[in-house]
Structure 1
Amino acid sequence: MRRSLAALAALLVAFSALTVGRADAADAVITDFGVQAGESDRVQTVALQRAIDETSAGGGGRLTVPEGEFRTGALDLKAGVELHLAEGAVLLGSDDIADFPIRQTRIEGKVQPWVPAVLNAKGLSGVRVTGPGTLDGDGKPYWTAFWKRRAENRKCTNLEVHRPRLMYFESCDDVEVIDLNLRNSGFWNLHVYKCAGVRIEGVSIRAPHGDPPRITGDDQPWDEVSIDRAPSSDGIDVDSCQSVVIRDCVISVGDDCIALKGTKGPRAMEDEASPPVENILIEGCDFQSGHGVMTCGSEATIVRNVVVRDCKVGPGVPVCRLKLRPDTPQRYENLLFDGLTLDGAQSLFDVKPWRQFYDPQGMAPPKSEVRNVVLRNITGSLRSLGDLRGNRGDSIENVTLSNIELITDRGDLRVGEVVGLRYVGVVINGDEIEAPDSE
């Protein structure tokens, strides 16, 4: 355990030096390239893509989206271009799925044909998207289509209804997304895959997360439904990436706030397209709503060296959520949660089996490992301490809770087979408690 904490301390030092900036370059405005202002109902994908392409061809620089609303389908960022959304600027995703033609893209742990995001980048170095403007997915038509399908078939998968993400970056390095507002995504908000050296800072991510509609039957007036829940609205998906900093962000969504992802299935460890997620720093964030501060899964293999520190956690949000699939070998290790303030959070742990779309492919169940997990310097209130248990045969070891003072309705931690569970200075409802026995 000491060695794992020393490694995490070294990681923090390395992260503190990770500050990258935009090189001085010429500025341009999208209206210089034929994009029309004041026409928010008109989809201007062609003109917007021309602005990006010509700015890149001319040597790069900052390309500004000025105040106003500009509607677009899928756009591809190009080398040397910083896309800057000025104060009052709204880049609005098209509500017509035809403006997002199917392509090969990474989704749910696999590269497969699906719809692109509003903003896409592949194989670039020095990706820059900056605010303070807004990227808005105008997602209500996509949410409606999904809930309609869910009413028809409760077992429908997330991918049965095409819904564009807001941002998707693949195989890029030196990536910055700074001071941006992300709103109303049709699906996940910000997805990075096989990227290294990523900084996401000062980003506000919001998606409506009220109750889903309760309409059933073929004759219901779906066009008249007011949808106030965006399904699968993950805030930030870190997929097979290394050296990622997420700092000073505000996230209020109806799914995972930050999800660390890889792939799934009995042969997941052999998948060269899904390298480990490692060296992740999450700090100074405000998690106002979501299904987990930091979630490993729903598809994930190796996740290691993760620090979550100095964050606020709002009502109903679990802190450490680890999904343990009985059909996938997984290894989650060296996870540190430090200096958190909880305001009605769901739980400290949501660690338990996850069987969504479970498919063992006729093979014997693989085993997963969770080890070297530390939660320390945590105060506030929450509903319960939660669950810490795996599938039969999984290994959970070296879990430490230290300097924790909480108010809760349920002070017991539901524990499965855990080796090395330690409590040091854990005070619940005014009383210091000891670690529970493993099953």
Structure 2
Amino acid sequence: MPKTLYFYNVLLCLVLIGCHKNTHTYHVSDYGAIGDGKVINTVAIQNAIDDCHTEGGGTVTLENGNYVSGTLLLKDNVNLHIAEDAKLIGSSNPLDYQSIDTFTDATGQERGNCLIGAKNAAHISVTGKGTIDGNGEAFLNKNIKAKIKELNIIDTKGFGTNRPFLLRFVNSSQIKVQDVHLRQPAAWTCHFFESNDILVENVTIYSHAHKNNDGIDLDSSYDAVIRNCDINTGDDAICLKTTSPKPTYNIQVSDCKLKSDWGSIKFGTESMGDMYNINIKNCYIYDTKGGGIKILSVDGANIHDITVDGIQMDRVDMPIFIRLGERLRTYRDANKQDVGTITNVFIKNVKGGTRVLDSSRVNPPSGILISGTPNHKIGNIVLENIELELPGGGKEEHTMVRVEEDETRYPEFSFFKVLPAYGLYGRHIDSLQSNKVVFTITGNDKRDPQVLVDTHTIQPK
């Protein structure tokens, strides 16, 4: 582990151990909150949070009931604790939500609403073995139309379009999310933006209520640990990104179970700021339709010093996809970046197999795709001790496929369609070192196991 990363992890542990020294407990029921699954409790719960903060900090507790609420804003030294017998449920009324640090995401949608939020806060946490349910289905188009009719909304423009995240932390520090069950937000589940000293531990996420249902997004944030989490999402499970020019760095992800319909471990696609000193290890990725490990710099990010080690995969589309592109999209009115770089990426001890032919996004599939562009090559990539099983299916015509460059397009492996290699297709790479990389096919395949274009390979020592 790099010394810098080790130092920050020690610092993080010390910070979190010292978090919430105040032991005062504030029961939301004492503030008039009713856990009947019907009453909107936003004001009551927020009053408890405010008093907790004003009086020096402590724990705000929800217990024994289903508490419906709109946006709750955490403040310094407050731990929001959801007891095992309690559930916090997002209101179905878009008017009950607030937007913090509103921005436009890569899909062109306005974001910022959330169920639980914090801005410029420190020493905050969300804990407990209870459940936070975003009630995301309430924001499906058909249900928004019904809500407009129910509330007799006259000006419907934009009503319900800023779909709320479940948890959102902005410019905050010393954050802990621990033990809770996070379910069914209308958008991303847990978003950290320009925040630091973060611990996410023993958290389960189920996020399939709507579109863009990411699990955990670390966005222009640093000094973060994600461990022992079970994440099942419709979009990216764990996503490291930069929607600002500020970097994401000093990140550790370990011992997580991940399932996704789009990508389990992903860097990008929003990638303006750099990403570095990131260590991902001992994770299980299963039944994933959109890519196991995806490392994407397309908006100017310099991605470097990345280690992915000890990954088991089962039924995973495109196990490894690395792409340096030239999309150069901007966010938050930032200036356009120059084309970025990807170098010093170490992927090792990866074992598993792809999805079968009839459930693969690309049929027949391939195991690894690494691509720079003709004018911007990927730097140093090391692949070591990788064993992947594939179903085969490649025909003679697939050996002659011309793979488009598509430098400025959204970086998705499926857009490149069938590749001329069933194992590894690599191009525009300055230094590719592979050692003990084995591809096994269970059916016939006319394609070669490996095709390299404009790539310099280095033999292992």
TM-score, with structure 2 as normaliser: 0.77
Distance 1:379 1:104, change over 3 A: closer
Among 382, 395, 401, the alignment partner of 1:400 is 382
Distance 1:141 1:100, change over 3 A: same
Q: Which residue is equivalent to 1:288? A: 259
1:276 aligns with 2:242: no
Q: Which residue is equivalent to 1:418? A: 429
Q: CA RMSD in A?
A: 3.2
Q: Secondary structure at the match of 2:26?
A: strand
The number of aligned residues is 389
Structure 2 portions without partners, runs of 5+: 146-157, 356-365, 393-421, 443-447, 455-461
Equivalent residue letter for 2:233: V
How many angstroms does 1:262 deviate by?
Answer: 1.4
Q: Distance in 1 between matches of 2:207 and 2:264?
A: 16
Q: Which residue is equivalent to 1:303? A: 275
Q: Secondary structure at the match of 1:79?
A: coil
Equivalent residue letter for 1:293: S
Equivalent residue letter for 1:11: L
Counting only pairs closer than 5 Å after superposition, residues 36-435 of structure 1 correspond to structure 2 as 36-38=34-36, 40-108=37-105, 114-144=111-141, 161-208=161-208, 230-263=210-243, 274-301=245-272, 302-316=274-288, 318-325=291-298, 328-352=299-323, 366-383=338-355, 384-409=366-391, 411-429=422-440
Q: Is the 8 A contact 1:426 1:434 kept in 2?
A: no
Q: Distance in 2 between matches of 1:392 and 1:136?
A: 47
Equivalent residue letter for 1:395: K
Q: Distance in 2 between matches of 1:109 and 1:297?
A: 10
Q: Secondary structure at the match of 2:452?
A: coil
CA deviation vs aligned residue, 1:365-390 (integer Å, no higher than 9, x gap): 94221101111112222243132113
How many angstroms does 1:118 deviate by?
Answer: 0.5
Q: Secondary structure at the match of 2:46?
A: helix
Equivalent residue letter for 2:222: Q
Q: Distance in 2 between matches of 1:147 and 1:352?
A: 38
Equivalent residue letter for 1:205: I
CA deviation vs aligned residue, 1:307-347 (integer Å, no higher than 9, x gap): 1100000122523213343xx32211111110111111222
1:11 aligns with 2:5: yes
Q: Is the 8 A contact 2:324 2:340 kept in 1?
A: no
Distance 1:131 1:237, change over 3 A: same
Q: Is the 8 A contact 1:250 1:287 kept in 2?
A: yes
Q: Is the 8 A contact 2:241 2:268 kept in 1?
A: yes
Q: Which residue is equivalent to 2:405? A: none
Q: Is the 8 A contact 2:100 2:119 kept in 1?
A: no
Distance 1:74 1:147, change over 3 A: closer
Q: Is the 8 A contact 2:100 2:117 kept in 1?
A: no
Equivalent residue letter for 1:380: G
CA deviation vs aligned residue, 1:174-221 (integer Å, no higher than 9, x gap): 11000011101010000011111100011111122xxxxxxxxxxxxx
Farther off after superposition, 405-414 or 164-173:
405-414
Q: Is the 8 A contact 1:145 1:161 kept in 2?
A: no
Q: Is the 8 A contact 1:368 1:395 kept in 2?
A: no
Structure 1 portions without partners, runs of 5+: 1-5, 149-157, 209-228, 264-272
Q: Is the 8 A contact 1:106 1:193 kept in 2?
A: no
Distance 1:349 1:101, change over 3 A: same
TM-score, with structure 1 as normaliser: 0.80
Equivalent residue letter for 2:167: M
